[in-house]
A and B are shown apart, each in its own frame.
Chain A
Amino acid sequence: MNKIILSLLLGLLPIVSHAEQGLKLDHVRIDLSDQASLQRGARIFVNYCLSCHNAAYLRYNRMGHDLGISNQLVKQDLLFATNKIGDRMRAAMPAADAKKWFGVAPPDLTLEARYRGPDWIYTYMHSFYRDPKSFSGWNNTVFPHVAMPFVLYGWQGEQRAVFRNVKLVSHVMENGKAVTEVTEERVFSHFVLAKPGTMTPKQYDLAIRDLTNFMVYMGEPAKLERIRIGVYVLIFLAVFLVLAILLKKEYWKDVH
């Protein structure tokens, strides 16, 4: 009997896992050479995200230098009063307090874009909806039951999630006979903007694109430099290859 249950469960596995992966992430176009976008993203990140999250591997002056913001401006606009320009970007709120309030310590976000990918961040920031059953009053379709409250609701407004019921048909073997099982499951369908925010959906979308762009930059500040140097390295090696081939041909004239 146990074996039958097990095979039933195993039979369902592909379908269940498929349902989990069923959530499609929206694609976001990343452009690290767009400094204006990165600067806007940095402003959003510092003013909202950095209240609770660390970005502790990056330093303010490195960010200012890479993004073309003068130290003076970084200090005026982006720095907390107690910080120095060479400091690492740490949250305003101590991690212990945050843990008390949210139940989990907010993770460091420096490498978030490399861990989750830009599309995930972009979709996640579009997917908060009102959920009275949740502790913070918010829920998220990309990250269900996330502890983070929706800090940008003033911009986007309040979304409501619409779910629909779907029938899942699965074929399983039971006692050597093929049996068709039908189960019903509630799956997410789409969002409705119940209460508009201060931004139009288009403006909000651009803001999140800037934020995602900045977080991709933050995940690897040396990326543009890396690609630029890579071109020179390959050009040098190509020149050297020509010489090496000529040299080899010259010597191998001896070999018959």
Chain B
Amino acid sequence: MQKIIAWIDDRFPLTKVWNEHLAQYYAPKNFNFWYYFGSLALLVLVNQIVTGIFLTMNYKPDAALAFGSVQYIMYDVSWGWLIRYMHSVGASMFFIIIYLHMFRGLIYGSHKQPRELIWIFGTLIFVALMAEAFMGYLLPWGNMSYWGAQVIISLFTAIPVIGNGLAQWVRGDYVVSDATLNRFFAFHVIALPLVLVALVFVHLVALHKVGSNNPDGVEIKKKKDEKGIPLDGIPFHPYYTVKDIVGVTVFLMVFAAVIFFAPTLGGKFLEHDNFIPANILSTPLDIVPLWYFTPFYSMLRASTTDFTHGMLAIFTMLVAMLAFFTQRGFRAKFLSVAIAGVLLLGMYTLEAKLWGVILMGSSIVLIFFLPWLDRSPVKSIRYRGPLFKGAVIIFVLSFILLGYLGTKSPAAVDLFWFKNVLWAQGFTLLYLAFFVLMPWYTMIDKTKPVPERVTLK
């Protein structure tokens, strides 16, 4: 055995990689519950790839055959139903895990210096994952698949001048059709998985370059023993591998419970309207994207003309205020006024539909800027003040409620007093405010002293 490894090591850095990334990769010893979701995300990615490969063996990317081939998998292929449920439930699980993983990064300051690139790669993974899920959802060619794609691709038409042409180019037809299905298939099974795997790789390379953050937000590399090993670090293998096995098992129990006992989760993970084939003449009564897109869908629908005008006015005022009260120089002031002017101009010339798309786009783009919006001197929420804690609570509630409202009719009243659309507008403002006001409230927030070493409860 020793000889074989030595033979390989002369030709490939096996032991070196093993040591650098597992046996001698020192991770902080105070990881808590929130640190399971990274390895779980990797597990679900593998699940999606493996089940996806086996689905591809029987799926037919053809508008006339796609729906039937999915039912063929469900009825005729041995164990096909299990493989398909693992894939469809896996997609929802992927988003649950990714949202929790991102939340972990947010509260413990994992986006802050020196981990900005990890955060950006991670956000890119999130964007690629959304594209992957959206395109995958068209493939069963159910009625909801079809109309969901129709509606979302129509967003491109909001772009002035080139919009209609762009939407046609994306579809390859005047409506969502066989051509669209075929290209979405190509993206879903080849292009985006390659992108995702590559992004996951660089995400991990960047992580192993700077080392993991932890719930205390303390840099463990600052305190090392005489051998150069961080005092608060423990080798990833075996300590975190055995710990992650526990996390993986608990997750698999939840995953299996959904797959085997409620694979559609009452229409949340597989919608009822997707049990009939795509019908170009009959739109489902409520076109609702799957739950993981509903927060963003809610923001899109919230953008009525009045709302966008109101919001733009607020933004313009903010920018103008910034221009007057900032201690920066003339150039910064001039820039702020110019931006305010452009926004005001846009408000009167562009229609609400476009602002909806811009709004939804900014809600994702803002995530990329988190490392620079956050001006707090400390990383972890444990040592931050009440302003940040409150902001996070409001942000999470807004996100969840936007998701809930996204599944409901805008004109109905499902919360208290007001119509859903009004609530959605309020929560959209809170969501955006969380990011836009972050430089301000993180700067003035009171912080507690951060300990020298990590703490263990």
Contacts and interface: CB of A to CB of B under 8 A. Distances in A.
A–B contact (CB under 8 angstroms): yes
Given A10-B411, A240-B249, A110 B260 contact: no
Interface of A: 10, 13-14, 17, 57-59, 62, 107, 110-111, 114-117, 219-222, 226-227, 229-231, 233-234, 237-238, 240-241, 244-245, 247-248, 251-252, 254-255
B71 A251 contact: no
A58 to B, nearest CB: 6
B275 A248 contact: no
Contacts of A57: 68, 71-72, 74-75
B156 interface: no
B242 A248 contact: yes
B453 interface: no
Given A111-B276, A115-B273, A251-B239, A244 B259 contact: no
Interface string B264-276: 1000000011011
Nearest to A116: B272
Contact of B260 (A107, A221, A229, A241): A229
B75 A247 contact: no
B234 A244 contact: no
Interface residues of B, number: 35
Contacts, number: 90
Given A107-B276, A245-B246, A226 B260 contact: yes
A111 B257 CA distance: 23
A234 B257 contact: yes
Tell me the dominant secondary structure on chain A's binding face.
helix
A14 B246 contact: no
A219 B263 CA distance: 13
A228 to B, nearest CB: 9
B259 A230 contact: yes
Contacts of A230: 256-257, 259-261
Contacts of B272: 114-117
A237 B253 CA distance: 6
A254 B239 contact: yes
11 contacts: A59-B75, A110-B75, A115-B276, A234-B256, A237-B253, A244-B245, A245-B246, A251-B238, A251-B239, A254-B239, A255-B29
Contacts of A241: 246, 249-250, 253
A245 to B, nearest CB: 6
Contacts of A255: 29, 234, 239
A77 B261 CA distance: 34
Contacts of A233: 256, 260
Nearest to A226: B260
Given A62-B75, A255-B239, 4 more contacts: A17-B411, A57-B72, A58-B75, A227-B260
Nearest to A218: B75
Nearest to B276: A115
Contacts of A58: 75
B362 interface: no
A215 to B, nearest CB: 12
B242 A14 contact: no
Nearest to B241: A251
Given A110-B71, A114-B275, A222-B81, A247 B242 contact: yes
Interface string B70-98: 01101110000110000000000000000
B317 interface: no
B413 interface: yes
B409 interface: yes
A13 B411 contact: yes
Interface string B226-238: 0000000010001
B264 to A, nearest CB: 8
Contacts of B366: none
A111 B275 contact: yes
B85 to A, nearest CB: 8
Given A57-B72, A227-B260, A237-B256, A247 B245 contact: yes
B276 A248 contact: no
A234 B276 contact: no
